[in-house]
Structure 1
Amino acid sequence: MLWQDYSALTLLLFKSAIVLSFSLILAWICSRGLKQAVQHFDKTSSHWDDTLARAARPVLTLAVLLLGVSLMVDFLLEYIHLEEAELVGQVRRIVLILLIYSLLIRYLRLVRNSFYQTNRRAVKMDKATLEFMIKLLQIGLTMAIVLTLLQNLGVSISGLLAFGGVGGLAVGLAAKDMLANLFGGLTIYMDRPFVVGDKISLQNQQIEGFVEHIGWRQTRIRGYDRTPVYVPNALFTNLAVINPSRMQNRRINVIIGLRYQDFSKLNAIIQDIDAYLARHEGVDHGRDALARFTDYGASSLDLLVRCFTVDIDWSVYMKTRQDILMGVGEIVTRHGAEFAFPTRTLDIPEGTPFSSSS
């Protein structure tokens, strides 16, 4: 009857209004509560609590609203005397999967950003390693979500995986060099022979500079002349990489030559140079710092001066090297000795006539 339909429609609208009102109130409470949680967790040194609350806030708010819409759909199906269709259940599962995916992806992105904040240094992690881990998790999560969605849509996963195996073999044969670069990038991320900012050089390749970016396929190195060099990652797996940025000390290794006339002063000069190196602040006293007479040269007494600097910075190293060389020169001069230079003595027999040319 008409009045019964009108009564049922009124009840439907009433229940829908109540559900919608409660959904809006719960969504507002959820949003406000998580906002307060974010403000509280921002004061902590942890990366995980505030990023989780910040990532969950929009997703959970939307989930509460969609829950209200889902209940209203149930009321509508009951009003038209239709049992819950399979399509409705499928849509609900897909929406739930997408909400979970959105929450996890947003959380990973916020975690990555939080590591770059200057006030968050509780966890030390290299930038390249962090990017690699985030990308790997995002790819794995996306693949899992896609397979789950396909399974919910009725697509055969086993057949898809079998086709993917054959297709992957064909792609691997066709893109051998690209895959080699990808695995080379994976090796760099796992072994970490260098990181962004390191100064490196490739042996026998005349490539030297500072690492600016480590990608999946190639690495960008900025040369001393500020020219970028793009190196395929596969090259790093077959060549020796020299990384001066990780040296513990820089070495000063100098051979100086004294005149043969200064042989009697040699021992005193060596002792004074040893004492000078022992009290120099720029020299690492935990390693060998010495001056030793090494050889009789063609025109000089060869003296080795060797030590290691504390600082590996190039400008500091050059200043320390200059100080030590100046100090050694002052010690030699103070003892009345002189540095030798290449000379040759001619032994002319007595009575040998000389002809003068006009």
Structure 2
Amino acid sequence: MLELTNYLPPELLMALKTWDTNVLFITIASFFAWIIWKIVYHRLEVLVSKTRFHWDDLTLQAVKTPISTLIWCWPATISLGFVLQNHITSKLDWLSTLKLLLIIAIFIWIVLRMINNVEEYVLSQKTRDETTVQAIAKVARLFFFVIAALSVMQAFGLSLSGLLTFGGVGGLVVGLAAKDLLSNFFGGMMIYFDRPFKVGDWIRSPDRQIEGTVERIGWRMTIIRTFDKRPLYVPNSVFSNIVVENPSRMLNRRIKENIGIRYNDAAKVAIIVEEIKSMLENHVDIDSNQTLIVNFNAFGPSSLDLLVYTFTKTVNWIRYHEVKQDVLLKIMAIIHSHDADIAFPTRTLVFDAPNPEETAQTAISLAQ
């Protein structure tokens, strides 16, 4: 072995003696570590696919890329230190800081990937409220971003106590300068926790010209898609000052109609009212547990007005109109079955019969 080394170049001999500080050997070791991680990952992937729980799948997916990155980047920082220490005589304290920053970045990366995976999985199950899930995920991301920022500041040697003291004074200045941004932020928090509406709800405001379907609830603004398919961007602070109606949460839809019968059919009004009421009580799409009114309501200018007031079981807008059409057609059939008819606006003019003597005198005066 000693005789073999005598034939090797001096540079190679030096590299073999300092193999632990050689970039080439560190890179090769990183490559083999990466191969081992790939094999271990595929083994774990097979194991977790056989379990009934999904959290292990989500966790494994979250750590896959960050661990691979760490396997390459951690030896890279060591190699960088070995390369530079031959050219820089000062102590490289910043290498330890760089390694600490790498650990913080990898940890936050894994946590954020885990939050994203859990959010997507929970939303795909459609067993939780979408707005609540998104709110919890955003708060979790914000929390870990703040933790990461504080950790990075501490890694650079900043005093957190001094930083928090400065933040108390600076926060007041920033709050006054960005009060609209903060009001929108807290308006978004109010929407998330009070939940007056959620993504997918149809909302409208009688105070503002706001009506449409909620597409997204952000920290600063809410996106509403109007019924003519235009996007409406509403700052969240607006919702703390207006009344918001949420028709998507109604339990029933109301049918309220005034139907006029001809005055000639006055004798048939009572029986028509009874049959209409009976029809509604037995209608499969009418909620008989809600208020149901069918009455002769008023003497109109040209009709006897009947009030029909009831509620459908469905809240779907299209289905509601189908039920309403069916009800109105059945009411019309009941009226016609009694040889009655629906009134339409009419006017009767009465002329007094002329006096013959006055007519003759008028004719003589016109002839003269």
Moved more, 30-39 or 174-183: 30-39
Distance, in Å, in 2 between the alignment partners of 1:222 and 1:62 is 41
User: Is residue 116 of structure 2 the alignment partner of residue 109 of structure 1?
Assistant: yes
Q: Which residue, out of 335, 339, 346, partners 2:338? A: 335
- How far apart are residue 334 of structure 1 and its match? 0.8
* Equivalent in the alignment of 2:192: 189
* CA displacement, residues 29-77 of structure 1 (integer Å, 9 cap, x when unaligned): 332332343455467775532221011122233444566678889999x
Distance, in Å, in 2 between the alignment partners of 1:18 and 1:222 is 59
Letter in 1 for 2:103: L
User: Is residue 298 of structure 2 the alignment partner of residue 313 of structure 1?
Assistant: no
Moved more, 247-256 or 279-288: 279-288
- How far apart are residue 328 of structure 1 and its match? 0.6
Distance, in Å, in 1 between the alignment partners of 2:226 and 2:78 is 63
Letter in 2 for 1:147: L
Distance, in Å, in 2 between the alignment partners of 1:269 and 1:301 is 12
3-state secondary structure, aligned to 2:259:
strand
* Equivalent in the alignment of 2:223: 220
User: Is residue 19 of structure 2 the alignment partner of residue 13 of structure 1?
Assistant: yes
Q: Which residues in structure 2 correspond to 1:146-295 (within 5 Å)?
A: 146-295=149-298
3-state secondary structure, aligned to 1:194:
coil
* Equivalent in the alignment of 2:105: 98
* Equivalent in the alignment of 2:86: none
- How far apart are residue 324 of structure 1 and its match? 0.9
Distance, in Å, in 1 between the alignment partners of 2:201 and 2:262 is 44
Q: How many residues align?
A: 346
Is residue 35–residue 57 contact of structure 1 (8 Å, CA) maintained in 2? Answer: no
Distance, in Å, in 2 between the alignment partners of 1:173 and 1:71 is 46
The higher radius of gyration belongs to: 2
User: In structure 2, do the counterparts of structure 1 residues 30 and 285 end up closer, same or farther at CA, with 3 Å as the change threshold?
Assistant: farther
User: In structure 2, do the counterparts of structure 1 residues 24 and 346 end up closer, same or farther at CA, with 3 Å as the change threshold?
Assistant: closer
Is residue 74–residue 99 contact of structure 2 (8 Å, CA) maintained in 1? Answer: no
* CA displacement, residues 145-170 of structure 1 (integer Å, 9 cap, x when unaligned): 12112212211111212222212111
Letter in 1 for 2:125: R
Is residue 282–residue 311 contact of structure 1 (8 Å, CA) maintained in 2? Answer: yes
User: Is residue 56 of structure 2 the alignment partner of residue 52 of structure 1?
Assistant: no
Distance, in Å, in 1 between the alignment partners of 2:77 and 2:225 is 56
User: In structure 2, do the counterparts of structure 1 residues 113 and 73 end up closer, same or farther at CA, with 3 Å as the change threshold?
Assistant: same
Distance, in Å, in 2 between the alignment partners of 1:20 and 1:26 is 10
* CA displacement, residues 238-263 of structure 1 (integer Å, 9 cap, x when unaligned): 11101112212111011222234434
3-state secondary structure, aligned to 2:284:
coil
User: In structure 2, do the counterparts of structure 1 residues 92 and 228 end up closer, same or farther at CA, with 3 Å as the change threshold?
Assistant: closer
Distance, in Å, in 2 between the alignment partners of 1:244 and 1:43 is 45
Letter in 2 for 1:319: E
* CA displacement, residues 1-37 of structure 1 (integer Å, 9 cap, x when unaligned): xx9xx98864432797988766544432332332343
* Equivalent in the alignment of 2:3: none
Is residue 34–residue 54 contact of structure 1 (8 Å, CA) maintained in 2? Answer: no
Q: Structure 2 length as normaliser, TM-score?
A: 0.78
Identical pairs, percent: 35
Distance, in Å, in 2 between the alignment partners of 1:203 and 1:347 is 48
Is residue 77–residue 95 contact of structure 2 (8 Å, CA) maintained in 1? Answer: no
Is residue 81–residue 92 contact of structure 2 (8 Å, CA) maintained in 1? Answer: no
Distance, in Å, in 2 between the alignment partners of 1:72 and 1:235 is 55
Distance, in Å, in 2 between the alignment partners of 1:174 and 1:70 is 42
Distance, in Å, in 2 between the alignment partners of 1:43 and 1:283 is 50
Distance, in Å, in 1 between the alignment partners of 2:174 and 2:342 is 69
* CA displacement, residues 77-127 of structure 1 (integer Å, 9 cap, x when unaligned): xxxxx9x975554443333222212211222233334455xxx4164341x
Letter in 2 for 1:124: R
Distance, in Å, in 1 between the alignment partners of 2:119 and 2:18 is 47
Moved more, 331-340 or 58-67: 58-67
Q: Structure 1 length as normaliser, TM-score?
A: 0.80
The unaligned stretches of length 5 or more in structure 2 are 1-5, 7-11, 84-88, 364-368
Letter in 2 for 1:93: L
* Equivalent in the alignment of 2:36: 29
User: In structure 2, do the counterparts of structure 1 residues 268 and 174 end up closer, same or farther at CA, with 3 Å as the change threshold?
Assistant: same
Letter in 2 for 1:60: I
User: In structure 2, do the counterparts of structure 1 residues 166 and 71 end up closer, same or farther at CA, with 3 Å as the change threshold?
Assistant: closer
Distance, in Å, in 2 between the alignment partners of 1:74 and 1:110 is 36
User: In structure 2, do the counterparts of structure 1 residues 73 and 184 end up closer, same or farther at CA, with 3 Å as the change threshold?
Assistant: closer
Distance, in Å, in 2 between the alignment partners of 1:259 and 1:44 is 74
- How far apart are residue 338 of structure 1 and its match? 2.7
Is residue 220–residue 229 contact of structure 1 (8 Å, CA) maintained in 2? Answer: yes
Letter in 1 for 2:279: Y
* Equivalent in the alignment of 2:125: 121
